[in-house]
Amino acid sequence: MGEEAASRARVSLIQCVKSRYEDIHGASCELVAVAPGRVNLIGEHIDYSGFDVLPMAIDRVSCVAIGFRTDDEVHVANIEPAFPSWRGSGSAAYSVSSCEIPWVRFVLAGRRGAGMVSEGALRRGANVMVGGNVPQGAGLSSSSSLVCASVLAHVALADGSDSFSLDHAKRGELAVAAARCERLVGTEGGG
């Protein structure tokens, strides 16, 4: 896919995620976080053992639209009807392994990772809508992409500013938290 076509596809996906969020939750989302899939040019399958790799982002992404709730519940849905929705209390959303819906575990892992670097990330409930075009099981880190987008969405929501940005140190913290929490799902990715 060419750069212009990839950009159009990404914008279209973001619009779709925002629209489905509004359809399901009856309000606009606060923000949308986007994280790319990736390939390891050097070092495939050694990143999760702590060895260096040379990753490269690809033009496929995971998107997480998010907004606050007035209670402590977390509601997670997907733009694809084949992926069932999930609802749970704040405490259930902290227990990644107890979630019975496999794909939702990656979103909850991201929420837990956000809580490791931002105290406010777990204080309130959230409505979450997920969409993506990173092929699953193709070696393009779709699970890492989803966890990273979830971490970013939850941290940015807790930050509450219109111009959320991360300094270099915070980026490193988030990367470590994402990698650590992805392992709670049972995926041995590098974050």
Q: Which residues of the chain have pLDDT under 50?
A: 191
**Per-residue pLDDT at 53:** 66
**Per-residue pLDDT at 102:** 87
pTM: 0.86
**Per-residue pLDDT at 171:** 77
pLDDT tens figures, 104-127: 988 998 888 888 887 766 778 899
How far is Cα 73 from Cα 65, in angstroms, rounded to an integer? Answer: 16
**Per-residue pLDDT at 189:** 59
Q: Residue 98 carries which DSSP code?
A: G
Burial class (CB in 10 A: 0-12, 13-18, 19+), 138: exposed
Contact 21, 35 (CB under 8 A): no
Looking at the chain, list the stretches that DSSP marks H as alpha helix, in order from N- to C-terminal side: 3-25, 90-94, 102-117, 142-159, 168-185
**Per-residue pLDDT at 16:** 93
Contact 39, 140 (CB under 8 A): yes
